[in-house]
Amino acid sequence: MNSFSYNKAHDVAEAVADIQEHEGARFIAGGTNLLDLMKENVMKPAHLTDINRLDLADIKENEEGGLTLGALVTNADTAWNERVEQRYPLLSKAILAGASPQLRNMATNGGNLFQRTRCYYFYDTATACNKREPGSGCSAINGINRIHAILGTSEHCIATHPSDMCVALAALDAKVNVTGPNGDRTVEFGDFHRLPGNTPHLDNNISQGELVTSIDLPPSNFTKNVFYLKVRDRQSYAFALVSVAAALDLEGDVIKDIRVAMGGVAHKPWRRREVEESYIGKVASTENFRALAETMLTGAVGFGGNTFKIELAKRAIVRALNEALKSGENL
């Protein structure tokens, strides 16, 4: 871990000012990923701005009729919030599929969006990694890539985004509220994270001095037929090889609306609205789910160790949608 200076900010303005004042500064909230990476010398912020005392720890009703999740509400408090459980069960389930109870008690909603990849090479400074050290090369492409991306990869990076929460947020059309030296702005969830392209060192479209203050959830009809499937190498406390956030809004057995987002397969939560839309009005059946899954995986490329994920992801989509279909029956 490098040497750094540290300040506690007491309000948003102070936090934004503090980070501007220090070169190479980072915000710290839960710290669960940042400190992990600092101990590995992967991230070396010269300054930490502690934002834990900011007044961003509420879950509130928003004007649209949905909920706004404060950036500093912990993952646990979000998942187990009664309103979230009732109105956004998909989000609740996704959060609870991630990390461990202890980590969920520390990690914040804002911080979760900034979680960095679990790529072995990113974590090991003895190896080449374009995300950690631009231009050094990608070791994973010809290396151990069982956990790596199959969609949206580039020749520079095949890392995945590790979050479960973000997969559900993507499915639910969340919006991220950001503030910074140039004022406030709102980012559609689909625009929040980036694909690696030529700039794999950039995980998202938020600039250094900007602070996520909250996440807006629009009103949602996906309260019954939802399922979060996490396929992993052990039953808990492991990152997803493939995860699927599946939600159905049904009229009889006909799809009124559908959401399918995938985790563990790309540099960002993977969702294709146009594919979802093409199934509106169709029957919720295994055949249709499989056809949808095939389309979702269009363009998927494997790198040897992770090639199995292409078929696995398709099966996971079918399973998640079938479970979502069934979960409505139990209610």
Partner 1 sequence: MTTESAVLEEPVVKKQELPEFELVNLTINGQSFKLKLQPWVSLLDAIREYAGLTGTKKGCDHGQCGACTVLINGKRINSCLTLAVMRDGEAITTIEGLSDGVVNHPLQDAFIEHDAFQCGYCTPGQICSAVGMINEGRANSLEDVQELMSGNICRCGAYNNINAAIMEVKSKMA
Partner 2 sequence: MKTQYIGKPVSRVDGLAKVTGSAKYSADFKVEGMLYGYIVSGSIAKGRIISIDTSGAMSLKGVLQVFTHENVSGLPWFSIKYKDMDAPTGSPFRPLHDDKIIYSGQPVALVVAETFELARYAASLVHVSYQEEDFTTDLVKNMDQSYKAPVGKLGYVSPKSRGNADEAFDQAAFKMSGSYQHGAEHHNPMELFSTTAIWENGKLTVYDKTQGVSNCQFYIGNVFGLAYKDVRIISPYVGGAFGSGLRPQYQLFMAVLAALELKRPVKVGLTRQQMFTFGHRPVTLQQLQLSASTDGSLESIKHEAFSETSRFENYTEIIVNWSGTMYNCDNVKLKYELVGLDMYTPVDMRAPGAVTGAHAIESAMDELAYELKMDPLIFRLKNYADEDQTEEKPFSSKELIACYREGAEKFGWTKRSIGPRSMREGNQLIGWGVATAAWDAFQAPARAKALLSIDGKLIVSSGTSDIGTGTYTIMTQIAAESLGLKIEDVTFKLGDTNMPLAPLEGGSWTAASVGAAVKGVCEDVKKKLKKMAVKTKTSPFYDTSSKDIVFDSGIISDVNDSSKSISIVDLMRIAGVNSIEETSTSGPNPINKMKYTFNSHAAVFAEVKVDEDLGIVRVTRVVCAVAAGKILNPKTARSQILGGVVWGISKALEEESKMDHQYGRFMNHNLSEYHVPVNKDINDIEVIFVEEKDDIVNPLGVKGVGEIGIIGVAGAIANAVFHATGVRVRNLPITMDKVLQIAEDDKNQVAV
Q: Which is nearer to partner 2, 208 or 236 (CB)?
A: 236
Q: Which does 127 bind (CB under 5 to 8 A by kind): partner 2, partner 1, none?
A: partner 2
Q: Which does 205 bind (CB under 5 to 8 A by kind): partner 1, partner 2, none?
A: none
Local structure of residue 10 (DSSP, 8 states): S
Does 304 sit near partner 2 (CB under 8 A)? yes
Does 319 sit near partner 2 (CB under 8 A)? yes
Distance between CA atoms of 117 and 82, rounded to whole angstroms?
A: 30
Does 120 sit near partner 2 (CB under 8 A)? yes
| Residues of the shown chain interacting with partner 1 in the complex, contacts defined by CB under 8 A | 1, 3-6, 8, 28, 30-32, 35-36, 39, 48, 50, 52, 76, 80, 99-103, 105-106, 235-237
Q: Which does 312 bind (CB under 5 to 8 A by kind): partner 2, partner 1, none?
A: partner 2
Does 234 sit near partner 2 (CB under 8 A)? yes
- Which residue has tokens 């009664």? 82
Beta bridge partners of 74: 108
Compute the Cα dihedral for 127, 129, 134, 135 and give only its sign: positive
Residue 298, CA distances (Å) to 124, 270, 294, 295 in order: 32, 12, 6, 5
Does 191 sit near partner 2 (CB under 8 A)? no
Tokens of 31: 């710290």
Range 132-151, binding partner 2 (CB under 8 A): 139, 142-144, 146-147
Render 138-205 in DSSP notation, one character per residue.
-SSTTS--TTS--SS-BTTB------SHHHHHHHTT-EEEEEETTEEEEEEHHHHB---TT-TT--BS
Interacting residues toward partner 2 by CB under 8 A: 1-3, 39-41, 118, 120-121, 123-127, 139, 142-144, 146-147, 231, 233-239, 241, 302, 304-305, 307-308, 311-312, 315-316, 318-319
